[in-house]
């Protein structure tokens, strides 16, 4: 049965979230104060869109908030998001309230809002989510974008296809037959279109191929594809704002033991971090906060900057300034100076593919990270989201098989999953199983699935009793 969800804010993040929830057959209402933005959403989404301010009680009732299970505030104002969540709780007793909050002071004290007048259940911070994605990529050697799959040793990475790639101008089946590795080709981005590939899918130059396998198998696969995992001993971090600070803190002081071990493998013991920040006051603050880093006050786009600051031949550059065009250009330019890998922070969806084609190794989007985080919260039941991909065209989801489900006791090939979906991994009794066609589903099996957004509803039905 569809759940009622009210979203305030129809900007890029709110629009993308609403589109994925609508594709998932949820009952969504968008509230947007800007008339042009509201009109665009109305013309492009199959849901109710109301032009007005999200703290107007009359409009909230019109949106059906009294029946809503989730209230999600995604405007550009932290304070407004928190206040309207308080209204949703106090006036309408909405069970779950989610607020996007960028201010680090608010975010650090998010526990104070639980059970208070505002009574916010979940706070999502775009910069924190983006920083986590960057650090996770560094942990895996910056071979590509990484989609983490919880409680499994299976990973997903994206492989850009170049002219001399072992995948180029071959079908998936042909490449699999030539490689003594167990892997799945589970997603293909061609131009702006994402699809689930099959054995007879012909891979072309310029495609981006999502591949899943064990970490060891992926390391071997990427090594053969000319993108080996590297030790990131010398790292340049451009931009000391919120995202940059979160990244620096994690790289220099990973407090979680597992993260420390991963970063140690990625960096080695002798690592150097250089932080480049154009603002003088902020540079001094960064130097005080991170004594283990070298902080350089300067403009990365300045002529001769790379030579003057001895930035040649470093292992990695991470660009996290507020200027996404500068992030892309600096990441590309750095590689002409011998810097081996690059990560750029980019928000505009049409820049994501462009940046990758221009040679940026990994592109991280704070807005995509927020959508993924919110979807994880909304899908708390049998099927939950792990990641949103390609501007909302696809999702990675996880679900657990119940003994009474229609799929229990049947093999994967008997289940007839939608063509636009694919099982990536099966976790059984703590062991990851390769999803072969003859594998029979059992009670408590945990499945990770990649699917086009418009196929998720049909995938969910297979988990029903």
**Three-state SS string across 53-65, please?**
CCCCHHHHHHCCH
Rounded distance, CA 45 to CA 34, Å?
16
Sheet holding 70-73, edge to edge: 48-51, 27-32, 4-8, 70-73, 96-100, 122-124
CA atoms within 13 A on the CB side of 213: 19
Distance of CA 344 to the CA centre of its chain: 14
The verdict on 234 and 360 lying in the same domain is yes
The verdict on 235 and 335 lying in the same domain is yes
Lowest mean pLDDT among 114-128, 181-195, 275-289: 114-128
pLDDT band at residue 138, thresholds of 50, 70 and 90?
confident
Q: Select from 224, 254, 288 the last residue of a domain.
A: 224
Residue 105: pLDDT over 80: no
Q: pLDDT above 70 covers what percent of the chain?
A: 89
CATH code for the domain in which residue 386 is found: 3.30.70.1450
Residue 99: pLDDT over 90: yes
- Supply the mean pLDDT for the chain: 85
The verdict on 207 and 252 lying in the same domain is no
Of 188, 220, 193, 199, the C-alpha closest to 450 is 188
Q: What contacts 449, CB < 8 A, 6 or more positions away?
A: 396, 397, 398, 399, 417, 421, 422, 423, 424, 459
Q: Are 431 and 416 in contact (CB under 8 A)?
A: no
Number of structural domains (the chain) is 4
**pTM (2 decimals)?**
0.75
The verdict on 279 and 169 lying in the same domain is no
* Number of Cβ atoms within 10 Å of the Cβ of 302: 11
Q: Are 55 and 83 in contact (CB under 8 A)?
A: yes
Sheet holding 208-214, edge to edge: 146-147, 154-160, 208-214, 184-190, 193-195
The verdict on 264 and 383 lying in the same domain is no
The verdict on 240 and 159 lying in the same domain is no
Q: Are 146 and 157 in contact (CB under 8 A)?
A: yes
Lowest mean pLDDT among 67-81, 390-404, 408-422: 390-404
* Number of Cβ atoms within 10 Å of the Cβ of 322: 12
CATH code for the domain in which residue 68 is found: 3.40.50.720
CA 268 vs CA 25, 292, 361: distances in Å: 47, 15, 21
Enumerate long-range contacts of 275-279, CB under 8 Å, 24 or more apart. Answer: 275/237, 275/240, 275/244, 275/248, 276/236, 276/237, 276/238, 276/239, 276/300, 276/309, 277/239, 277/240, 277/244, 279/240
* Number of Cβ atoms within 10 Å of the Cβ of 281: 9
The verdict on 8 and 115 lying in the same domain is yes
Task: Categorise residue 143: left if φ over 0, alpha if ψ from -120 to 50, beta otherwise.
Answer: alpha
pLDDT, tens digit (0-9, with 9 covering 90-100), for 174-222: 998 988 888 999 999 888 788 999 999 999 998 889 898 888 888 888 8
Helix, strand, coil percent values for the chain (each to nearest 5): 35, 25, 40
Q: What contacts 454, CB < 8 A, 6 or more positions away?
A: 23, 420
pLDDT band at residue 258, thresholds of 50, 70 and 90?
very low
92 belongs to a structural domain: yes
pLDDT, tens digit (0-9, with 9 covering 90-100), for 310-357: 888 899 999 999 999 999 999 999 988 889 899 999 988 778 777 877
Q: Select from 317, 334, 364 the last residue of a domain.
A: 364
The domain in which residue 163 lies consists of 149-224
144 belongs to a structural domain: no
CA 84 vs CA 16, 26, 176, 318: distances in Å: 21, 22, 52, 36
Task: Categorise residue 174: left if φ over 0, alpha if ψ from -120 to 50, beta otherwise.
Answer: alpha
The verdict on 305 and 340 lying in the same domain is yes
The verdict on 254 and 135 lying in the same domain is yes
* Number of Cβ atoms within 10 Å of the Cβ of 44: 11
For the chain, what's the residue count?
A: 465
For residue 254, the model assigns a pLDDT of: 54
Residue 63: pLDDT over 60: yes
For residue 279, the model assigns a pLDDT of: 95
Rounded distance, CA 62 to CA 432, Å?
47
């Amino acid at each position: 049965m569809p759940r009622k969800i009210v979203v305030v804010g129809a900007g890029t993040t709110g629009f993308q979230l609403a589109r994925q929830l609508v594709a998932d057959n949820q009952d969504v209402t968008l509230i947007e104060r800007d008339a042009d933005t509201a009109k665009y959403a109305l013309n492009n989404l199959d849901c109710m869109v109301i032009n007005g301010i999200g703290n107007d009680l009359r409009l909230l009732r019109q949106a059906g908030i009294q029946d809503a299970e989730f209230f999600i505030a995604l405007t550009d104002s932290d304070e407004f998001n928190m206040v309207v969540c308080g209204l949703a709780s106090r006036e309408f007793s909405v069970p779950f309230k989610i607020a996007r909050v960028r201010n680090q002071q608010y975010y650090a004290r998010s526990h104070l809002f639980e059970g208070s007048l505002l009574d916010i259940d979940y706070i999502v911070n775009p910069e924190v989510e983006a920083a986590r994605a960057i650090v996770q990529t560094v942990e895996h050697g910056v071979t590509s974008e990484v989609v983490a799959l919880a409680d499994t040793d299976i990973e997903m990475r994206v492989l850009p296809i170049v002219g001399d790639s072992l995948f180029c101008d071959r079908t998936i089946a042909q490449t699999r037959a030539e490689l003594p590795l167990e892997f799945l080709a589970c997603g293909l981005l061609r131009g702006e279109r994402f699809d689930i590939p099959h054995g007879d899918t012909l891979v072309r130059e310029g495609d981006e191929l999502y591949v899943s396998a064990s970490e060891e198998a992926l390391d071997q696969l990427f090594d053969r594809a000319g993108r080996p995992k590297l030790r990131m001993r010398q790292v340049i971090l451009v931009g000391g704002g919120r995202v940059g600070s979160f990244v620096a803190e994690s790289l220099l002081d990973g407090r979680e033991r597992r993260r420390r071990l991963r970063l140690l493998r990625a960096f080695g013991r002798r690592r150097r971090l250089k932080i480049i920040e154009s603002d003088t006051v902020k540079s001094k603050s960064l130097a005080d906060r991170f004594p283990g880093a070298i902080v350089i006050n300067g403009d990365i786009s300045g002529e001769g900057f790379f030579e003057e600051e001895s930035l040649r031949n470093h292992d990695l550059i991470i660009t996290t300034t507020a200027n996404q065009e500068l992030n892309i250009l600096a990441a590309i330019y750095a590689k002409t100076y011998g810097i081996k890998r690059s990560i750029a922070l980019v928000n505009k969806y049409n820049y994501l593919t462009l940046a990758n084609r221009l040679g940026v190794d990994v592109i991280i989007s704070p807005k995509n990270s927020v959508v993924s985080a919110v979807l994880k919260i909304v899908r708390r039941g049998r099927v939950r989201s792990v990641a949103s991909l390609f501007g909302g065209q696809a999702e990675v989801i996880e679900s657990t098989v119940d003994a009474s489900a229609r799929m229990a006791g049947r093999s994967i090939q008997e289940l007839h999953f939608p063509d636009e979906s694919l099982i990536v991994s099966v976790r059984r009794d703590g062991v990851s199983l390769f999803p072969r066609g003859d594998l029979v589903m059992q009670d408590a099996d945990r499945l990770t699935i990649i699917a086009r957004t418009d196929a998720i509803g049909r995938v969910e039905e297979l988990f029903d009793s």
